[in-house]
Amino acid sequence: MDPEALKKSSALHPKPAGLTLQYGTAGFRTRADQLDHVMFRMGLLAVLRSKAVVATIGVMVTASHNPEEDNGVKLVDPLGEMLHPSWEEYATQLVNAEEQELQKIITEICQNAAVNQHKDASVFIGRDTRPSSEKLSQAVIDGISVLGGQYHDYGLVTTPQLHYMVCCQNTQGQYGKATLEGYYKKLSKAFTELIKQSSSSGENQRHLKIDCANGIGALKLSEMEAYLPKEVLIRLYNDGTKEKLNHLCGADFVKVHQKPPGGLDMKPNERCCSFDGDADRIVYYYTDATGHFHLIDGDKIATLISIFLKELLAKMGQTLQMAVVQTAYANGSSTRYLEEKLKVPVHCVKTGVKHLHHKAQEFDVGVYFEANGHGTVLFSKAAETKIRQLAKEEKDDEKREAAKVLENMIDLINQTVGDAVSDMLVIEAILALKGLTVQQWDAIYTDLPNRLLKVQANRRVIATTDAERRAVTPPGLQEEIDALVKKYKLARAFVRPSGTEDVVRIYAEADTQENADALAHEVSLAVFHRAGGRGAPPQP
């Protein structure tokens, strides 16, 4: 490391005075004009991480579903997973260091993490379509270069595509080819194989309208269309040519407001879905003949996938252990359906993809989705080997066919991270194979009415336990919530500090929408009064 070169290069990416940031589940996220030094320093950190694990590391420039004027950055570990928690701490230290301490902090990270400075470093970079992303990814490149790292800039890609590339590179191509074409070919081949089995009578079932949140998903889906079979009739809306990223559209907007996005004309009973800004979340929805809006969120996606995989595992006659991982936000009806009707074990973990991913790795087949539509399926090495072997060698026709379908499912699913493009193709394949309409899928169970709220309060005074389902501090808050919940039927509520903004999040569900709204409001008042609320108290 050349201290002079580092000093010179770092001076071109100065840290704004008094700004402190924290690396969380979403990496770093804030207004784009405050991120130049962050990007430069994440370039530095990616080189150190690459040397420490002797593998390629990814850097993704995106702020996902945040407004267009924000941006952010997250690092991708060697198998396409999120950055190891111990390194989140190093990221925070490095980004908040004053100019003159930079050298010292880098040296400390190298000592604490046993980084061999003489190893080569390799970094993959990707970015979303925000106006600020190109300049910010150049700052990442400056950071990589000053520490002598090698890099490959993929330019505009979805977040899951970058995760995929990193995994392909570090498995020496076993997971696939580390190119966009490789990604399109692997997914479309598996998808084509799957829908070959479906009856062609459901032609009109193949129509799908996609809201791309005016983001990267539109660009990448248009590229992929050429690889998909001609039966797939998708129409893209909010493709980024006219409106602002995530503005009144995208998966987050639809989930939070429980209404269709702008820019998409919906006719009754048409199947529609929305991606978020960096295409790692997806939700489905439709309006019925009476004009009533129906949202099909991550819980129902996980349920559909679980029903399908459970049937296949049973046909294959293997005792592979399958489980579903959810968070406290999962609708109570979905948990009940999975446990009682489908007899699949359900585990609840803290909010944040890394917690779900980690838990899902404990099973042969681990399905995880957050209610917001971020999720995927993980297959253990042993399960994958077994399935591929049976698809090749099993003598019994039914068992072999089931194994073949599962093998194509494994190839279609992006196991590194939630991927809207991959998840969409998985869902479309399952609906086609089971001959289900979107209404039949929706009718599997009825969601309990619920309400999500945000309260302007001091999130730091709230500590939780039991996978965030109970508040430990401030004193008296949980007792008050318990008393409020008792007033309503089938009710449940919890509060948690947001991981991405300075607010406290509230979730409530009950037997009617009116009761869910009332409970959410009462809980938000309790939080406001006990956790140092800011501004005017919440209004019903």
The catalytic residues are 64
Would the annotation count 159 as a binding residue?
no
The span from the CA of 48 to the CA of 335, in Å, is 42
Two tokens, residue 334: 């979905």
The span from the CA of 531 to the CA of 508, in Å, is 18
Amino acid identity at 492: R
The span from the CA of 270 to the CA of 208, in Å, is 7
Would the annotation count 500 as a binding residue?
yes
Taking a C-beta distance cutoff of 8 angstroms, is the pair 255, 295 a contact? yes
Would the annotation count 190 as a binding residue?
no
Two tokens, residue 110: 């190298």
The span from the CA of 238 to the CA of 244, in Å, is 9
Amino acid identity at 65: H
Pairing assessment for the beta strands 150-156 and 233-237 based on DSSP bridges: unpaired
Taking a C-beta distance cutoff of 8 angstroms, is the pair 406, 391 a contact? yes
Burial of 11 (0-12, 13-18, 19+ CB in 10 A): exposed
The span from the CA of 9 to the CA of 3, in Å, is 10
Would the annotation count 498 as a binding residue?
yes
* C-alpha dist (Å) from residue 271 to 9, 11, 221, 490, 519: 51, 52, 17, 30, 32
Q: 539: which DSSP letter?
A: P
Would the annotation count 280 as a binding residue?
yes
Taking a C-beta distance cutoff of 8 angstroms, is the pair 384, 242 a contact? no
* C-alpha dist (Å) from residue 343 to 131, 338, 444, 508: 48, 6, 15, 26
The span from the CA of 216 to the CA of 40, in Å, is 23
Would the annotation count 511 as a binding residue?
no
Burial of 293 (0-12, 13-18, 19+ CB in 10 A): middle
Would the annotation count 278 as a binding residue?
yes
Would the annotation count 447 as a binding residue?
no
Taking a C-beta distance cutoff of 8 angstroms, is the pair 430, 308 a contact? yes
Q: 173: which DSSP letter?
A: T
Taking a C-beta distance cutoff of 8 angstroms, is the pair 152, 140 a contact? no
Would the annotation count 276 as a binding residue?
yes
DSSP 398-453: HHHHHHHHHHHHHHHS-TTS--HHHHHHHHHHHHHHHT--HHHHHTTSPPPPEEEE
Taking a C-beta distance cutoff of 8 angstroms, is the pair 123, 149 a contact? yes
* C-alpha dist (Å) from residue 426 to 104, 401, 412: 48, 18, 7
Would the annotation count 482 as a binding residue?
no
Would the annotation count 85 as a binding residue?
no
- Residues that constitute the known binding site for Mg(2+): 64, 276, 278, 280
**Which amino acids are annotated as binding site for substrate, given as ranges?**
370-372, 496-500, 505
User: Which residue numbers belong to the known binding site?
Assistant: 64, 276, 278, 280, 370-372, 496-500, 505
